[in-house]
Structure 1
Amino acid sequence: MRFTEDRVPGLLERAFDRLLLRSARVAAVHRVSDRFRLIDLEGDALQGAAWAAGHKLQVKVAGPFTARTFTPIVFDAVRGHVRLLGYAHGAGPGSDWLRRVQAGDACQVFGPHRSLALGDLAGPVVLHGDETPFGLAAAVAAAMGARAQPRCVLTGRAQSIQQARQALKGRGVPASCIVAKAYWAPGKTGMD
């Protein structure tokens, strides 16, 4: 894994990585635009993993305990293949990794793990968010059949989610039809 030229992981980091992370390699990187990247990961350690639309995968992008969360578009547990869509905002560990990652790079991932409860999601669906839910939208569209109860899925920036939730409730949308997950907020770290 290329974090810096001279960086060697410490004992605690190596132990954590061995116990909790899955090893993979970057099979392909597709530059969709200046900031968007489609990234294919492959590895035997991904085979047999339990995944459903809305689950998250955390990718170690820098030194100790520095990971960024992605919602896979595709997770093929038989082949051990994952496709992620990432957006490089500005400067930061996740954006830096997205800009420099190349096919053939080794990487480590944590998960998949449940992030949003979408197992009973019924269509039609309204998805609100910034660029962060694009992978989620693709995964939900691929997994969802035609079902009857409408749902509103709100993801992305915390403040936008609060505003959208209030607007929906003001228009009579029941809380049981709203699924929300804040992925980020200005000045906050460690969010999903």
Structure 2
Amino acid sequence: MRVRWTWLTLGALLLAAAGAAVLVPLLRSATSGEPATSSSLHLLACAQQDRDDHCRRIADDRAARTPLSSVDQTDATRFAERLRAAFETHLGAQCQDGIDACVFPQPPTAESLRAALDKAALPGPVVRQVRITDPAPLGATIYAIRAGAGCVVGWVQAGAGGSPQVVGRLPGGTCLPE
């Protein structure tokens, strides 16, 4: 009888240790903002334009960014929804559900985009003409806002914009390349 209780106790201890080995990293990632200990695959659809290698720049940009935890992703998505509402309210844009692309009645300038983001009190907006290192087509206007631990980055060209993307920050902590 005593041997039986010894084996039951040993089995219970092993089961508890195995459970802790699995649960502790998951709990730490959920409460610390650290990425969970799982990997994910992100697909990128991009329509390449003549003489503009922006699809490669977008892929390279995504690869350089820090991953977001699910909590940080949710927080940043709320900022993206506020950005979309600012485009509708201040620039008359027609935006699809969620954070999909918006169509503007008139192509917004960098100044009008910046003013709309400022009026919506979105943090740290950066708005500029696309540079050769930016994740957008040449000739477009790119914008980015800080969104908690992440960023919301998008672009506008000829009255239509690419969907604002919720992404992590670049290694220097910025939302766009310097």
TM-score by length of 2: 0.26
User: Which entry has the higher C-alpha Rg, 1 or 2?
Assistant: 2
Bigger strand share: 1
